[in-house]
Amino acid sequence: MSDSQFYAPQRQSVTGVLLIFATALYQIIRNFWAVGVYLLIMDPNPKIIFFSGMGLAVLLIGTLGYSILYYLKFQFYVDKEKSSFILEKGVFNSDVVNIPFSKIQQVNFRRNILQRAIGVYSVVIDTAGSNDKEVEIKALSKEKADILAGLLMDLSTQEKEETTESLSEDDLERPKASATEWEYKLDVLTLLKLGLTSNYLRGLSILLAFYFTVRSQLSYSEEFPVEVPYAVITEIFSTIVLILILLVVGMIITVVETFIKYYDLHILKNRAGLQVEMGLRNNTKVNLKSRRVQLLQEVTNPIHQRLNLYQLKVSLASSRDDLIKDQIKIPGLSREVVTKVKDYFYGREFKETNRILPHQILLWRMISISIFPLIAAVIVLFIFMPDVPRFQIGVGAGILITGIAVFQYFYFKTICLSVSEDFLMKSSGIWNRKKHYLEMYKLQSVSVSQPVWHKKRGLVNITFHSAGGDISYPLVYEEEILPVMNYILFRIESTSKPWM
């Protein structure tokens, strides 16, 4: 099948009528479900049932007719003369959407359960500076969807790059063959391990609830009794069983959520870019180009690191109002796959040339912000409830404050801004260890702020702005960061590579 067919008006797959009808039917059910419940519960007379049935039949026939008309009116094509992708739609009011090739950022595929059942794909075209999807073609065969996506991305690239001199080095060195270079599939066992070792807060909260429940049951008197009453033992046993059930249920929920989101995760690297496909209920397929990647975040923790599981979060160019929309989370990757993905995105290793650490004032600020609510709560408790056991509460608060201070100290020691010839990398985290990578030439601006109370010490807060999000770094010496800023601004101005 040739891509020349898209230069003439095209319609969706014929099965798209079924998809349009099912979508409209779902909306009808949402709006009129109360009527159906009324007819089932109230046992109305036959006349009401007859007219309700007639009304339902007319509504269904009208919906089917509307679906057919919508299908016939929905047309799309490529207009080379206008350098645009054109979409025409609408039954009662005609709507024409014109998207210039230069505005096209991504062409992605999505499928829900119904689309899987009828064998069609939804093609979503994202454009620069848009909060919402500009165009979604909901019913194309896989072959036509692949051809259309490839054609639009090629035309978008040609529009942005008029000569080969403006191509990035990665594009020039890219092999001409379209064969698969490497691929990775997340198997069921790895997905299960990912689900079982995720969402620790849910399990921790249940365990804390278990501890305090048992403690309250055993603390019914000031002195621990020699013999615990049978009723208390029964209640404690019931609580233990309930907690175990909650733990198992919580674990099952986490595993199910993980399977629904990331089932059949498949990464394919070829000449077209890096294709990422995942999802059971809502299947998503995204084609990532290295130059469109603005920010890359690598996340792991001690348990996942032991299991050789890493997560990447890719941030693409997006509007400032909706940065989350263009963030793609890819979990369950081995260290080898993470290295391959970073090699494609950046083509070179990160070699640190300079390291910048925050001032110790940041540590004291973190500790103060963390313990202030606790200290305030204890003071209020002592003032308004004088009968509370002050010693026990004081000891507990002291232990908690010490734990918070120790945690913040070790967290502070992990905060680091590393600079290389081409990259910025921010590291942080004790349990969830995060690394943010940002290429210098993709920076849009660098902002520096200095509160009055830090002026004497010469401390500033710095923020690096990109189209995919910001990296903030607080409380560094101005004299230490200025040479780095000057170098970064020089790299931004002296680089002509396209960043979108």
> Does residue 175 register a pLDDT over 50?
no
| Longest alpha-carbon distance in the chain | 92
Assign 3-state DSSP to the chain and report helix, strand, coil percentages, each to 5.
Answer: 50, 25, 25
Query: What's the burial of 97, exposed, middle or buried (CB within 10 Å: 0-12/13-18/19+)?
Result: middle
Residue 294 inside a domain? The answer is yes
- Tell me the C-alpha distance between 13 and 207, whole Å: 53
> Does residue 185 register a pLDDT over 80?
yes
- Tell me the C-alpha distance between 269 and 228, whole Å: 65
pLDDT category, 410, cuts 50, 70, 90?
A: very high
485 in the same domain as 400: no
Distance of CA 296 to the CA centre of its chain: 12
252 in the same domain as 206: yes
Residue 219 inside a domain? The answer is yes
Q: What pLDDT, in 10s, does the model give residues 53-112? A: 888 899 899 999 999 999 999 999 999 888 899 999 988 888 899 999 888 888 889 998
Per this entry, what is the length of the chain? 500
Predicted pLDDT of residue 26 = 86
Residue 228 inside a domain? The answer is yes
468 in the same domain as 378: no
Residue 167 inside a domain? The answer is no
Predicted pLDDT of residue 352 = 84
In this structure, the strands spanning 121-127 and 104-111 are: antiparallel
59 in the same domain as 156: yes
156 in the same domain as 103: yes
How many degrees, rounded to 5, is the angle at CA 273 between CA 426 and CA 172? 90
Cβ neighbors of 484 (< 8 A, separation 6 or more) are 354, 356, 419
Q: What is the CATH number of the domain that holds 150?
A: 2.30.29
**313 three-state secondary structure:** strand
Residue 172 inside a domain? The answer is no
- Which among 279, 223, 259 has a CA at the least distance from the CA of 109? 279
- Tell me the C-alpha distance between 337 and 417, whole Å: 25
Q: Which of 140, 160, 180 is the last residue of a domain?
A: 160
Predicted pLDDT of residue 464 = 93
- CB atoms inside a 10 Å sphere around CB 281: 12
Mean pLDDT over each residue of the chain, to the nearest integer:
83
List the strands of the sheet with 95-100, edge to edge.
75-79, 84-89, 95-100
Beta carbons of 220 and 301 less than 8 angstroms apart: no
What does the pLDDT average to over 37-43?
Answer: 75
Residue 176 inside a domain? The answer is no
- CB atoms inside a 10 Å sphere around CB 310: 23
Q: Which of 262, 295, 311 is the last residue of a domain?
A: 262
- Which among 363, 376, 435 has a CA at the least distance from the CA of 404? 363
Residue 139 inside a domain? The answer is yes
Q: How far is CA 350 from CA 421, 422, 436, 437, 491, in A?
A: 8, 8, 12, 9, 16
What does the pLDDT average to over 416-436?
Answer: 93
The total number of structural domains that make up the chain: 4
Q: Supply 288's token pair.
A: 């990532």
232 in the same domain as 199: yes
- When computed from its CA atoms, the radius of gyration of the chain, rounded to whole angstroms, is 29
Beta carbons of 437 and 298 less than 8 angstroms apart: yes
Q: Which of 36-45, 66-75, 437-446 has the lowest mean pLDDT?
A: 36-45
pTM: predicted TM-score of the whole model, two decimal places: 0.79
Predicted pLDDT of residue 134 = 65
284 in the same domain as 339: yes
Enclosing domain of residue 365: 361-413
Beta carbons of 271 and 177 less than 8 angstroms apart: yes
Residue 171 inside a domain? The answer is no
Predicted pLDDT of residue 35 = 75
Q: Supply 137's token pair.
A: 């073609």
Q: Supply 287's token pair.
A: 């084609």
374 in the same domain as 427: no
346 in the same domain as 383: no
448 in the same domain as 349: yes
**274 three-state secondary structure:** strand
- CB atoms inside a 10 Å sphere around CB 458: 13
Predicted pLDDT of residue 209 = 63
Q: How far is CA 263 from CA 110, 190, 283, 343, in A?
A: 14, 11, 9, 25
What does the pLDDT average to over 243-259?
Answer: 81
154 in the same domain as 258: no
- CB atoms inside a 10 Å sphere around CB 339: 13
283: alpha, beta or left, given left = phi > 0 and alpha = psi -120 to 50? beta
**Cα torsion through 348, 354, 358, 360, rounded to 10:** 140
Across the chain, how many H-helices and E-strands are there?
13, 20
> Does residue 232 register a pLDDT over 70?
no
310 in the same domain as 380: no
> Does residue 203 register a pLDDT over 60?
no
- Tell me the C-alpha distance between 146 and 108, whole Å: 10
Q: Higher model confidence: residue 146 or residue 173?
A: 146
Beta carbons of 323 and 309 less than 8 angstroms apart: no
**269 three-state secondary structure:** strand
Q: Supply 291's token pair.
A: 């130059």
